[in-house]
Amino acid sequence: MIAEFAAAKVNLSLHVTGQRPDGYHLLDSLVVFADVGDRVSVAPAPKLGLTLAGPAAEGLRTEADNLVLRAARAFGVNAGAAITLEKHLPVASGIGGGSADAAAALRALARFWDLPLPDAAAVLRLGADVPVCLQGRPVRMQGVGEIITPLPALPEGWLLLVNPGVGVSTPAVFRALPRKDNPPMSAALPPFADLAALAEWLAAQRNDLEPPAMALQPVIAQVKAALQAQPGCRIARMSGSGATCFGLFAAKAEAEQAAAALRQANPGWWVQAGAMLS
């Protein structure tokens, strides 16, 4: 059996800088990953099949349009594999769960079938976040997700991810965005000597999808405020199109203490702390 980890994707910043004639939005985002996520495993089987497991599997189906099965078909081969997706990340929550699963399936199946990964165009067709999730390390993501610039290792830090258990429609959030031609990040990102420098720089950046998402689901603002109020939280922001928010911490103990406090105060929220991968 071959297994791959599907790490949660976190947009530390997300600037919407334009919209193409075909409707796709242009982005400029600093993307990192947390050691919180799902697990995709592959074992021999005569046919291609998918089994769902894990605490968050209830929101998914094993139908043909499942993103993991679409990733398997992207190889263009008639080969069998028994794929198991152990789902821990909330579905449709702004932290790239489905895209991370697809990327993990691509990596696992490439090893299992001893094949190269599908070409870049095929990977992008699976979803705008799949190419960046294949990287699994800090990157600057631009265009519709196809322009990926690896970054030097960022300072060590911890991410506290919190989802209030509400769904947010990504198309609805983009429709509610008041303007699509917002300023990008600076042409060159500065070096970050420590986490304080990263947090200070992030404070001058944005997630342009945060205001419209909060208008659609006001509880997101409550999540962000609850994170920001935790001792040691350097910055709190929504990731992706929501509803998951993150808090950035310098120390593991601070992140875990904040996680315990938020779980106790809000037992219906999904709360997970993890190291920021570099």
Q: What is the mean pLDDT of residues 248-253?
A: 98
Overall domain count for the chain: 2
Mean pLDDT of 71-93: 95
The CATH number that applies at residue 27 is 3.30.230.10
How much is the average pLDDT of 232-239? 98
Domain boundary among 130, 148, 166: 148
Residues 142 and 165 in one domain: no
Which residue among 120, 148, 176 closes a domain?
148
HEC-encoded secondary structure of the chain: CEEEEEEEEEEEEEEEEEECCCCCEEEEEEEEEEEEEEEEEEECCCCEEEEEECCCHHHCCCCCCCHHHHHHHCCCCCCCEEEEEECCCCCCCCCCHHHHHHHHHHHHHHHHHCCCCCCHHHHHHHCCCHHHHHHCCCEEEEECCCEEEECCCCCCCEEEEEECCCCCCHHHHHHHCCCCCCCCCCCCCCCCCCHHHHHHHHHCCCECCHHHHHHHCCHHHHHHHHHHCCCCEEEEEECCCCCCEEEEECCHHHHHHHHHHHHHHCCCCEEEEEEEEC
Which one of 133, 148, 163 terminates a domain? 148
Residue 140 sits at φ, ψ, to 5 deg, of -100, 125
Q: Tell whether 82 and 212 lie within a shared domain.
A: no
Tokens of 105: 């399936």
Tell me which residues are annotated as active site. Answer: 9, 129
6-59 confidence digits (pLDDT tens):
999 999 999 999 999 999 999 999 999 999 999 999 999 999 999 999 999 987
In this predicted structure, the answer to whether residue 64 has a pLDDT above a threshold of 90 is no
124 close to 115: Cβ distance less than 8 angstroms = no
Residue 211 to residue 81: CA distance in whole angstroms: 43
pLDDT in tens, 125-147: 999 999 999 999 999 999 999 99
Whether residue 13 sits in one domain with residue 136:
yes
Residue 62 has pLDDT above 90, yes or no: no
Q: How far is CA 119 from CA 99, 170, 206, 211, 266, in A?
A: 16, 26, 32, 36, 44
pTM of the model: 0.96
What confidence tens digit (pLDDT) does each residue in 208-226 have?
999 999 999 999 999 999 9
Average the pLDDT over each of 35-49, 58-72, 188-202 and give the range with the smallest value.
58-72
Based on the fold, state whether residues 186 and 242 are members of the same structural domain: yes
What is the chain's mean pLDDT, rounded? 96
Segment 253-269, tens digit of pLDDT? 999 999 999 999 999 99
